[in-house]
Structure 1
Amino acid sequence: MDIHKSAVDAICARVRQFHDAKTPFRIYHGSTNSTRHLDFDPSSVVDVSSLNHILSIDVEKRTAVVEPNVPMDVLVRATMKAGLLPPVVMEFPGITVGGGFVGTAGESSSFKHGFFDRTVLSAEVVLANGQTVTASASSNSDLFEGLRGSFGTLGVLTMVEMRLVEMKKFVEMTYYPTTSIEGAMAKLEEETKNEENDYLDGVLFARNSGVVVSGRLVDACAKTDGIRRFSRAWDQWFYLHAESLAAKSTVSIELVPVEDYLFRYDRGAFWTAAYAYQYFWIPFNRFTRWLLDYFMHTRVMYHALHASGHTDRYIIQDLALPAGNAAAFTQYIDSAFGLYPLWLCPLRKDGRESMGHPLGYRGAISGAQNESGKEYEGLYINVGVWGPHPSSQEEYVGVNRDLEAKVRELGGLKWLYARVFYNEDEFWGIYDKKKYTALREKYGATSLPTVWDKVKDRQGKEDVGGGARGALRRFVKRWGLLSGLYGVYKAVLGGDYLLKKKRP
């Protein structure tokens, strides 16, 4: 704790410098799982990348005290040694505790435990004036609630206490094939009511083919088709394995080691890495997936994605819809984009409050108006839409704006890790600016960027440098295969890919 205190003291001093100079600053974590255009100026950031330690695990209380830059795989391995697990674990191992708390993180256990932020019991925060406070349900409760989905716009998160659950050796996975969009949604809702389920999600491979997958934490299971793994280089990617089971007419059951289950989508980044094989004209088979396994993990892929500029060539959006409207939205995606696979993940009804200070929804659900115009308080289903969309920049922005409009029409919200195409008025028509601004004023956070400042689109504003080198970088990032090769080169080279380099 002494090392933690020293690090926090240094952060407080840095924050006070900005406060006294009345200078805005941003919080720098050293990596990102966002697909938005990002660029940090070293002279105007508070660097919290060193806050990456697990400070304590209390087995009796089933709690952990953790710094915000601890990634999921490190947290899981530490808690497993104590016979415990985080209730909600983001599927990409590089996502951090802080990102899950002040960002948006709904995963396959969120139908049961809520979003990741619902597992946090208290938070240590450095306010914009350099003062350190603790926020919880009983202390600074409005700040504690406001931190959910705040993206670092209320203060600097430096520590959290979070709850844990009992660990078992395996996840018993049950695969239910489905033959329609409506059938998949109905099966998801049905399985959320099964109290034995600990995990639940689904994948649509086409409008008439999909699979819903439930999971139970177990130490053993007699009724199983064997033990399956997904983390080794020679293992099949999870989505390909699930697709083979979706083609069957019968239910399949497998045992999967806990860590393999939790990070089953890391290799291949769900299925988006398959597009890299198409892009580079590489055969997509088990041998090439084994050969290029290093590049097919999400930490490397995010580095390459930002370096290459390919966030402008893909639709990468997660959308949470009221359960009754999720089928209509998925049918819209089918007709407008034809993009498959699609990820489906049910979310507990309090998930909306975890998604960036949104206003409530009082509109139609499945064609029927909510009773007396009451605010919707039911289950949500996340639809993950990730795939290429070759088009001009104008067309690309247009289809993304159409998608955002459809989400808003159906009472949904989008994850703000992704590119945002709203204008400012549209954005604040979805989010509660009045309440959010009052909270920022109460805790002196008005010198920090707002959520809108953080997420608004910065297309064309990223800095690639001046002179001949800058011109070369711009050329490479704009043209075809060169941009992809440049992204791979930068990922292999490693190092920081978010901070601007100081230039003479």
Structure 2
Amino acid sequence: MEHHRQAVRLVSATVRSLFERSEPYRIWHGSTNSTRPPHQKAGVRVVDISGLRNVLSVDATTRTALVEPNVPMDRLVESTLPHGLVPPVVMEFPGITAGGGFAGTAGESSSFRHGYFDETVRSVEMVLPDGEVVTARPDKGDEYEDLFRGAAGALGTLGTTTLLELNLIEAKKFVRTTYRRTSSVGEAVRVIREECAAEKGNDYVDGILFSKDHGVIVSGKMTDDLPSEDERVQTFSHPRDPWFYMHVQDITKTLPSSSSSSSSSSSSSEGTVTEYIPLSEYLFRYDRGGFWVGKAAFDFFKPVPFNRFFRWFLDDFMHTRMLYRALHGSGESARFIVQDVGMPYESAEPFINYVSDELAIWPLWLCPLKTPSGPSFHPHLRDGGKGKEKAPHGEMLNIGVWGWGPSDRNMFIRANRALERRVDELGGTKWLYAHTYYPPSEFWRVYGSAHQKQYEALRQKYLATSLPNVYDKVSVKVDNDDAVLRGWKPWLKALWPIGGLWGIWKAIQSKDYMLHRRATWKWTGGGDEAKTGKAKSA
């Protein structure tokens, strides 16, 4: 703990010095899971907090953990599981950090029960823009309650998080996982809501739409027990394992649609498949292939075939850390649509139809969310897109739209702008980690004019007006609605295959592939037979 205090004192002194000189700066965390293109001004000072990456303690009695902001999810899980505990919300990508989950928006397959990641945080230590170090809690009456709630999702624009106290819950060895087949978009939306019902007893719920007539709703219940000693468990972290989404598609493609009146014992219901997955393997099941975005790398490097051999041979490059490094290095984020939106349930089907008709992007990810009251930079319920706030808490559906966009950059920008308008019309809101093209007035209408006033008041109160605000950080800089991003580097990287090769080189330089090779959360029990898996079809 003393090492942490020394590091924070150094950060505090550096920030205070820059504040006193009115000198702009940015925070360097060491990595990012944002797809936004960087646009910081050259010469801006950097405050390096990349060394704050340790789990300081795990308390089994209070079920809490003290973690520094750059602790990634896989290291956090590796630290809590020996105590029989796990965070309630674990982001599916191992490299996403605790600090990133608090400062950004992190809604995952357990968020229908626990809300966004920041709702599992008990307190945060922050360095304010003038260098003062404070501890903020969400408790009523806490001196810095407004700071805690304002900083959640505000992308570090109110101060720098240096320590988090997290709630933990009891962990179990396996997740009893049920795949429920659907045959229409409307059925998929209805079924995912059914699986979130309390009487179902699910710990995790999400879904994949492979097409309008092939959807799979995935529900999971933690358990310590396998039904028999010879039960095989399914894993997804090893080079010879299947990619999760391909596995789900393969074992459900011949199933009939499940009945909406099926019993809670899904393993005996028509149209379902059940299997057992070790807990950590379940939490990071989408890591290999980055959901299905990793296939885009094969699309780029044609004629390299997308087959089992090359997925095994290139496995080091197919984990999300390496995929992100390559994406940023290649510049291909300027052609790849990566958008997550939170939609009211009644708007989900019209939005999915829009994506199908206008963008032809499949698969789509579905993730049910318990959302907070507004105002918030998190997706939350709005009044028909008019910016008026609704009930204190609500249910929404996150829809992940990830796929190739138009190759022409002007057309790419238009496609993203059209998506933003459609989301607004249907009363939804976007995750802000991705490309954002809203003009300022539209951005603040979507995220709430009342929220803007509260947020700016907090920036005044905590002396943060010298920092970029949320809009400054998220908006992609273009000259006008139809402008292209300028410079010779984007032009050069756009020449095939220069950008892709440069991205691979930057990924290799990072050595992030070693993090997965050395990971201790990967399932090794049960011998080779346990790794092959065998699903039970009803």
Alignment correspondent of 2:272: 251
Alignment correspondent of 2:297: 276
Instruction: Please say if 1:383 is aligned against 2:389.
Output: no
Of stretches 225-234 and 266-275 in structure 1, the one that deviates more from structure 2 is 225-234
Alignment correspondent of 2:69: 68
Alignment correspondent of 1:125: 126
Q: Tell me the CA shift for residue 350 of structure 1.
A: 1.8
Question: Please, which of 440, 447, 460 is the counterpart of residue 466 of structure 2?
Answer: 447
Of stretches 260-269 and 270-279 in structure 1, the one that deviates more from structure 2 is 270-279
Deviations 1:414-453 (A, max 9, x none): 1110010111111111222111000111111111110011
Alignment correspondent of 1:183: 187
Matched to 1:162, the amino acid is L
Give the Cα–Cα distance (whole angstroms) in 2 for the partners of residues 360 and 254 of structure 1. Answer: 35
Give the Cα–Cα distance (whole angstroms) in 2 for the partners of residues 25 and 458 of structure 1. Answer: 19
Q: Tell me the CA shift for residue 463 of structure 1.
A: 9.8
Question: Please, which of 172, 185, 188 is the counterpart of residue 168 of structure 1?
Answer: 172
Give the Cα–Cα distance (whole angstroms) in 2 for the partners of residues 459 and 246 of structure 1. Answer: 44
Alignment correspondent of 1:229: 235
Give the Cα–Cα distance (whole angstroms) in 2 for the partners of residues 83 and 360 of structure 1. Answer: 35
Is the CA contact 2:373–2:391 (under 8 Å) kept in the aligned structure 1? no
Structure 1 counterpart SS, 2:122: strand
Instruction: Please say if 1:239 is aligned against 2:245.
Output: yes
Matched to 1:237, the amino acid is W
Give the Cα–Cα distance (whole angstroms) in 1 for the partners of residues 146 and 289 of structure 2. Answer: 39
Matched to 1:35, the amino acid is T
Instruction: Give the 5 Å matches for 1:129-168.
Output: 129-138=130-139, 139=142, 140-168=144-172
Give the Cα–Cα distance (whole angstroms) in 1 for the partners of residues 434 and 374 of structure 2. Answer: 17
Q: Tell me the CA shift for residue 363 of structure 1.
A: 2.1
Query: Unmatched 5+ residue regions in structure 1?
Result: 465-470, 497-504
User: Aligned pair in 2 of structure 1 residues 493, 276: CA closer, same or farther (>3 Å)?
Assistant: same
Instruction: Give the 5 Å matches for 1:327-366.
Output: 327-350=349-372, 355-356=377-378, 361-363=382-384
Structure 1 counterpart SS, 2:280: helix
Instruction: Please say if 1:198 is aligned against 2:199.
Output: no
Give the Cα–Cα distance (whole angstroms) in 2 for the partners of residues 311 and 222 of structure 1. Answer: 45
Deviations 1:239-272 (A, max 9, x none): 0011013312221110001111000000000001
User: Aligned pair in 2 of structure 1 residues 418, 374: CA closer, same or farther (>3 Å)?
Assistant: closer
Structure 2 counterpart SS, 1:6: helix
Alignment correspondent of 1:501: none
Give the Cα–Cα distance (whole angstroms) in 2 for the partners of residues 292 and 28 of structure 1. Answer: 30
Give the Cα–Cα distance (whole angstroms) in 2 for the partners of residues 289 and 373 of structure 1. Answer: 46
Is the CA contact 2:124–2:135 (under 8 Å) kept in the aligned structure 1? yes
User: Aligned pair in 2 of structure 1 residues 56, 463: CA closer, same or farther (>3 Å)?
Assistant: farther
Q: Tell me the CA shift for residue 458 of structure 1.
A: 3.1
Deviations 1:257-296 (A, max 9, x none): 1111000000000001111112111111111100000000
Instruction: Please say if 1:438 is aligned against 2:438.
Output: no
Alignment correspondent of 2:535: none
Give the Cα–Cα distance (whole angstroms) in 2 for the partners of residues 463 and 388 of structure 1. Answer: 21
Instruction: Please say if 1:324 is aligned against 2:329.
Output: no
Q: Tell me the CA shift for residue 44 of structure 1.
A: 1.5
Deviations 1:127-152 (A, max 9, x none): 11110111002321111111111100
Matched to 1:7, the amino acid is A
Is the CA contact 1:476–1:486 (under 8 Å) kept in the aligned structure 2? no
Q: Tell me the CA shift for residue 226 of structure 1.
A: 3.7
Give the Cα–Cα distance (whole angstroms) in 2 for the partners of residues 145 and 297 of structure 1. Answer: 33
User: Aligned pair in 2 of structure 1 residues 314, 135: CA closer, same or farther (>3 Å)?
Assistant: same
Is the CA contact 1:225–1:254 (under 8 Å) kept in the aligned structure 2? no
Matched to 2:329, the amino acid is A
Matched to 1:96, the amino acid is T
Is the CA contact 1:125–1:157 (under 8 Å) kept in the aligned structure 2? yes
Give the Cα–Cα distance (whole angstroms) in 1 for the partners of residues 23 and 158 of structure 2. Answer: 15
Instruction: Please say if 1:394 is aligned against 2:441.
Output: no
Give the Cα–Cα distance (whole angstroms) in 1 for the partners of residues 390 and 198 of structure 2. Answer: 27
Give the Cα–Cα distance (whole angstroms) in 1 for the partners of residues 358 and 392 of structure 2. Answer: 27
Alignment correspondent of 1:315: 337
Q: Tell me the CA shift for residue 60 of structure 1.
A: 0.6
Of stretches 239-248 and 36-45 in structure 1, the one that deviates more from structure 2 is 36-45
Give the Cα–Cα distance (whole angstroms) in 1 for the partners of residues 344 and 279 of structure 2. Answer: 30
Instruction: Please say if 1:262 is aligned against 2:289.
Output: no
Alignment correspondent of 1:216: 221
Q: Tell me the CA shift for residue 194 of structure 1.
A: 3.5
Give the Cα–Cα distance (whole angstroms) in 1 for the partners of residues 248 and 494 of structure 2. Answer: 36
Query: Unmatched 5+ residue regions in structure 2?
Result: 257-270, 513-538
Give the Cα–Cα distance (whole angstroms) in 2 for the partners of residues 373 and 39 of structure 1. Answer: 32
User: Aligned pair in 2 of structure 1 residues 58, 359: CA closer, same or farther (>3 Å)?
Assistant: closer
Of stretches 378-387 and 425-434 in structure 1, the one that deviates more from structure 2 is 425-434
Q: Tell me the CA shift for residue 494 of structure 1.
A: 2.4
Is the CA contact 2:235–2:241 (under 8 Å) kept in the aligned structure 1? yes
Q: Tell me the CA shift for residue 351 of structure 1.
A: 7.4
Is the CA contact 2:123–2:135 (under 8 Å) kept in the aligned structure 1? yes
Question: Please, which of 481, 493, 496 is the counterpart of residue 509 of structure 2?
Answer: 493
Is the CA contact 2:185–2:349 (under 8 Å) kept in the aligned structure 1? yes
Give the Cα–Cα distance (whole angstroms) in 1 for the partners of residues 67 and 289 of structure 2. Answer: 28
Give the Cα–Cα distance (whole angstroms) in 2 for the partners of residues 115 and 10 of structure 1. Answer: 31
Is the CA contact 2:12–2:131 (under 8 Å) kept in the aligned structure 1? yes
Instruction: Give the 5 Å matches for 1:398-477.
Output: 398-431=414-447, 432-458=451-477, 473-477=489-493
Alignment correspondent of 2:308: 286
Structure 2 counterpart SS, 1:34: coil
Structure 1 counterpart SS, 2:227: coil
Give the Cα–Cα distance (whole angstroms) in 1 for the partners of residues 169 and 393 of structure 2. Answer: 26
Alignment correspondent of 1:500: none
**TM-score normalised according to structure 1 size:** 0.91
Structure 2 counterpart SS, 1:160: strand
Alignment correspondent of 1:84: 85
Give the Cα–Cα distance (whole angstroms) in 2 for the partners of residues 199 and 130 of structure 1. Answer: 40
Q: Tell me the CA shift for residue 360 of structure 1.
A: 5.9
Question: Please, which of 477, 483, 486 is the counterpart of residue 499 of structure 2?
Answer: 483
Q: Tell me the CA shift for residue 396 of structure 1.
A: 0.9
Structure 2 counterpart SS, 1:348: strand
Alignment correspondent of 1:502: none
Size of the aligned set, in residue pairs, is 483
Deviations 1:99-119 (A, max 9, x none): 001100000000000010000
